[in-house]
Structure 1
Amino acid sequence: MDSWVWWLVVAVGLGIPLVITAMPEFGMFAVGALAAAGTAGLGAGVVAQFIVFVAVSVALLLVVRPIAYRHLKQGPPVRMGIEALKGASAVVQERVDDQGGRIKLNGEIWSARALNPGTVYEPGQQVDVIEIEGATALVV
């Protein structure tokens, strides 16, 4: 059996734990084995094949792995507390003007004030929370 076939078997063998464990390192070694199979297909010797396998695998580990883990750690930003309320929609419960009023925000009643002086929102109207000052939502 040609050596390139053995490298394909190694690549598939490394792909199995990748699927089972979801560890991307196995995939990087599998890509290294595929590169070694290509090297073998071009007629290079066993030493060259092994060097290509190690070089590609190590290069992927050093370059791709840190990038992948950085993206996994970052994830989507999660807004919590008051920050999560900014930009949310609310329904006016009691008339809201620049002096005060009440809104229903995320199932809770909040004191509210119109952001722009002279603006009035009547009960039932939908407003957007722009800022939270203490326990008062500024709305538009």
Structure 2
Amino acid sequence: MLPDLTQYLWILWLALVFVFVIIELLTLEFTFLMLAAGTLIGGLGANLLGGPWWLQIGLAAAISALLLFTIRPLLLRALKRSSPVTLTNVDAIVGMPGRAVVVFVDGAGEVKLDNGETWSARVRPGLGDLAVGAAVTVVAVRGASVDVEPAASAPPPPGKDS
């Protein structure tokens, strides 16, 4: 006769915890960590206390859901709070210094920013035109062009284009 397979259910619970921990190490989102904790506490815990298989599954699911909706958001919030905000893409361009690469006519021209990108640019109204090599600072991004103003304390422009 075959032995009762429910007496070996604890091996399944341990294997499931192990799989969830491995997946969590690959994803780093705390989702599978909560599933592993629920499986360990609910499934394996109920098994070791002699609960029937349906109670083990129910407790594992309930505890996993409880952890997912209570502890996981707190962990994610704490993780995001400790990391500084890093501006990327267009947001990182505002405030960046650069130099005019063509003479500005009627407030329009081109600038080469310190990150190496060349952008179409407009000088803010009332500030006049800029000469080649004039130091500028980006004050806004408007679609595919930037609004610039002359840099406050700029070193003298170099002898040739950047």
TM-score, normalised with respect to structure 1? 0.50
Per residue, is there more helix in 1 or in 2?
1
TM-score, normalised with respect to structure 2? 0.45
